[in-house]
Amino acid sequence: MKIFESKNNCCGCSACEQICPKNAIKMTPDNEGFLYPEIDGSLCVECGACKNVCAFQNDYEKNKSQKAYAVKHKDFDTRMTSRSGGVFIAISDYIFEKNGTVYGAAFDNDFSVCHIRTTNKSERDRLKGSKYVQSDVKDTFASVKKDLKNGMYVLFSGTACQVAGLKNYLKNIDTSKLYTCDLVCHGVPSPKIWKEYLDYCEKKYNGKVTNADFRDKTLGWNAHKEAIWIDNKKYNSNEYAYLFNDNYISRPSCFNCKFTNLDRPADFTLADFWGIDRIVPDFNDNKGVSLLLVNSEKGAKIFDSCKKDIYCVDCDLQKSAKPNPNLYMPSPKPEDENLFWDNYKKLGFEKALKKCYKKVFFIRLRIRILEKLKKIKRIFKK
């Protein structure tokens, strides 16, 4: 049994592993640190369940985005500790009011990222904040199925490929109490490279990582700097952010993503509201605004109940989606797509990081100088 022909066609959602009736599949990291299904031929009975469940190669249940909103959570601390406007917190609070469970991506003790099940607000707060690493969903699909069978309300959040995988996995189950949030996604970086980066920071600053934030909002929502705490002392940098933003360490299938459009697998789509200043002037205080797409009737119903906790403005769907490229195309491969991986495999992480960092730094510097020159030219023309 072969589940996929090329790595471009496996998003690593783990639905195949979790559906296998013989437990013959194990998600195993490749040499770049991405998980792929490995089949134990002695257990496999060629039933084809793994191939049929694959949302990346087959079809997925599509909801058409119907409405767009600009959203800010009313509680300032909630917004400051969330990546954009904190809309996820408002939606998940509603599920807790129904005694439900909330699933999403959290840091583990060693700062690796995996999906967890949460049953109260303090556990759920571990899901706050985007982690720019592919999250390992572990056995959460099976756990969602169990909760639904027990009649519970469930909210599952994750990348669109994870949500589509879950929905295909649950095809024969009553999902009337399941709510889902997918994220607009730039691409998911390698967990192995994230771990290498943390080791590099520990060596550089001579201590233990005690916290991490991929986008430090205290520097402003627009700032693209990460923060790493070593022995509780904060250090800002943009080294990992450069690798992520310029797509050097993304999963191969992300360049072939099927979900970068308005046909969404989830009831809600969450994103940063880029372009907010043009669409809702005066709403942006540089502390974060979420773009929320409501994609189903079911989603629209519970969103009404969340409105007490948020400030929200009705927006034009097409205009709001336009400034967010990953709502209409996958991130492009970097021109020198092998620069990071070739150097990493030959010379190790630090040297590969430095080569990419230098390159991105000079490209950005050049862009900034050209923009400044254009501004000066415009002033002189006036």
Ligand X SMILES: Cc1cc2nc3c(=O)[nH]c(=O)nc-3n(C[C@H](O)[C@H](O)[C@H](O)COP(=O)(O)OP(=O)(O)OC[C@H]3O[C@@H](n4cnc5c(N)ncnc54)[C@H](O)[C@@H]3O)c2cc1C
Residues within the interface to ligand X (CB under 6 A): 82-88, 104-105, 113, 127-133, 135, 157-159, 181, 183-186, 188, 270-272, 290, 324, 326
To the nearest whole angstrom, how small is the minimum distance from the Cβ of residue 189 to ligand X? 7
Query: Is the CB of residue 159 less than 8 Å from the CB of residue 182?
Result: yes
Nearer to ligand X, 107 or 344 (CB): 107
Residues near 239 by Cβ (< 8 Å), separated by ≥ 6?
A: 197, 226, 353, 357
Report the first-to-last Cα separation within the chain, whole angstroms: 69
Query: Is the CB of residue 229 less than 8 Å from the CB of residue 210?
Result: yes
**Burial (Cβ within 10 Å: 0-12, 13-18, ≥19) of residue 9:** middle
To the nearest whole angstrom, how small is the minimum distance from the Cβ of residue 85 to ligand X? 5
To the nearest whole angstrom, how small is the minimum distance from the Cβ of residue 136 to ligand X? 10
Nearer to ligand X, 328 or 362 (CB): 328
**H-run or E-run covering 161:** helix 160-169
To the nearest whole angstrom, how small is the minimum distance from the Cβ of residue 292 to ligand X? 8
Query: Is the CB of residue 101 less than 8 Å from the CB of residue 152?
Result: yes
Side chain identity at residue 134, one-letter code: Q
Nearer to ligand X, 37 or 86 (CB): 86
To the nearest whole angstrom, how small is the minimum distance from the Cβ of residue 159 to ligand X? 5
CA angle 227, 233, 234 (to 5 degrees): 20
Query: Is the CB of residue 276 less than 8 Å from the CB of residue 71?
Result: no
Side chain identity at residue 149, one-letter code: K
Residue 30 DSSP label? -
Nearer to ligand X, 230 or 271 (CB): 271
Nearer to ligand X, 157 or 168 (CB): 157
Q: Where are the beta strands (DSSP E) in 162-201?
A: 178-183
Of the candidates 75, 61, 62, 67, the residue with the CA atom closest to the CA atom of residue 291: 67
To the nearest whole angstrom, how small is the minimum distance from the Cβ of residue 374 to ligand X? 26
Nearer to ligand X, 63 or 130 (CB): 130
Side chain identity at residue 208, one-letter code: K
To the nearest whole angstrom, how small is the minimum distance from the Cβ of residue 273 to ligand X? 8
Provide the β-strand partners of residue 115: 105
Nearer to ligand X, 159 or 295 (CB): 159
To the nearest whole angstrom, how small is the minimum distance from the Cβ of residue 104 to ligand X? 2
Of the candidates 14, 88, 12, the residue with the CA atom closest to the CA atom of residue 256: 12
To the nearest whole angstrom, how small is the minimum distance from the Cβ of residue 89 to ligand X? 7
Nearer to ligand X, 84 or 143 (CB): 84
Nearer to ligand X, 69 or 344 (CB): 69
**Burial (Cβ within 10 Å: 0-12, 13-18, ≥19) of residue 123:** middle
